[in-house]
Amino acid sequence: MPVLQIKNLTKDYGFGRGVFDVTFDVNEGEVFGFLGPNGAGKTTTIRHIMGFSRPQLGSTMLNGMDSWKNHHIIQRTVGYLPGEIALPESLTGTQFIRMMAQLREMPDMSYAEMLTKKFELVPSGDLKRMSLGMKRKLAIVTAFMHDPPILLLDEPTSGLDPMMQGIFIDFINEEKERGKTILLSSHIFSEVDATCDRIAIIKDGCLVSTFVANDLRHNESKTFEIEFATKEDFERFREQREYFQKISIISVKQHRNQLKVLVDDANINDLITLLADYKLLFFSEIKFTLQDYFMKFYDHNTTASAAMEVGTADVVS
């Protein structure tokens, strides 16, 4: 049985907002990426899984339990990192950690201490005066310090600096190695690419694609960009009609003597053999990325592409 089962989940907030007929499963030990720009419906879905909100239609189940009916058990079983954190301002970080440990009746703080070191959390200060980044680290440590088997991470790296984002990605991969089941929502392609086994793309509250991440990585055809040293070679290559069964020219930049070709993996040797007869300035593979795939669903939608991030260095939260 899958650990998480989201079946026909619908919550209509009006004006086309909300989530509509969302269905997916997350299996034990899997890292599942939930990818979409701001407003796509990621937080709404995750809050239903946590049992904070009641579905209008459909259901969310965790270990076979309905989230809404069992929200007390679920909120104790899951390590939940919300997208927006609210911490009690009157405490210090250390007091907050101690309070959460008591609530969870945790006898052993060694895992909490390991997390504190890993994320370079300095918990001693007042929460009122803590920087946003330090508050995020505190939220991370308290969300996971009881070593829960299931992690629900809602845009977990927003508010972290690039180095901490890297440490967080390593942490996800280590937790996966330890057998945890993880649902990660994100608008950052690189972190989804670096961690997820399967990915769902959500658009305007609806899932538009669910796929195995490796299927994208192991695409069976390749695109290469080639620049010829001379106009003569460029034109001569374009006349090689006997090869056109195996090598398709998909775009041409006439003024630069450049073109792009698409080749099945089985025919790459033919391309190399053919090119040996030409003088090139460069030859490089253009990787088909998660972003390319994503944009197929979001094409002509500039707000969505502007809201998505490619790298980890330039995150907007």
Binding site residues, Mg ion, CB under 5 A: 42-43, 83
d(CA 91, CA 99): 10
Residues that bind ligand ADP (CB under 6 A): 13, 17-18, 36, 38-44
Residue 36's binding partner among ligand ADP, Mg ion, none (Cβ under 5 to 8 angstroms by kind) is ligand ADP
* Beta carbon nearer to ligand ADP, 14 or 107: 14
Residue 44's binding partner among ligand ADP, Mg ion, none (Cβ under 5 to 8 angstroms by kind) is ligand ADP
Residue 172 · residue 157 · CB < 8 Å: no
* Beta carbon nearer to Mg ion, 78 or 226: 78
* Beta carbon nearer to ligand ADP, 17 or 246: 17
* Beta carbon nearer to Mg ion, 18 or 83: 83
d(CA 222, CA 269): 12
Q: State the residue number with the nearest CB to Mg ion.
A: 43
Cβ count within 10 A of residue 116? 21
* Beta carbon nearer to Mg ion, 33 or 93: 33
Report the chain's C-alpha Rg in angstroms: 24
In degrees and rounded to multiples of 5, residue 59 shows phi and psi of -155, 160
262 bridge partner residues: 223, 248
Give least dist CB 82 to ligand ADP, A: 10
Cβ count within 10 A of residue 197? 16
Burial call 127-150: b when 16+ CB within 10 Å, e when fewer: beebeeebbbbbbbbbbbbbbbbb
Residue 13's binding partner among Mg ion, ligand ADP, none (Cβ under 5 to 8 angstroms by kind) is ligand ADP
Pick the closest to residue 165 from 174, 156, 157, 155 (CA basis). 157
Give the count of alpha carbons within 13 A of 186, CB side only: 30
d(CA 87, CA 117): 21
Give least dist CB 177 to ligand ADP, A: 28
Structure tokens, 143: 């969300």
Give least dist CB 81 to ligand ADP, A: 13
d(CA 309, CA 317): 10
Give least dist CB 12 to ligand ADP, A: 9
Give least dist CB 63 to ligand ADP, A: 23
Pick the closest to residue 92 from 44, 144, 135 (CA basis). 135
Give least dist CB 145 to Mg ion, A: 23
* Beta carbon nearer to ligand ADP, 41 or 123: 41
In degrees and rounded to multiples of 5, residue 46 shows phi and psi of -65, -40
Give least dist CB 107 to ligand ADP, A: 35
* Beta carbon nearer to Mg ion, 42 or 137: 42
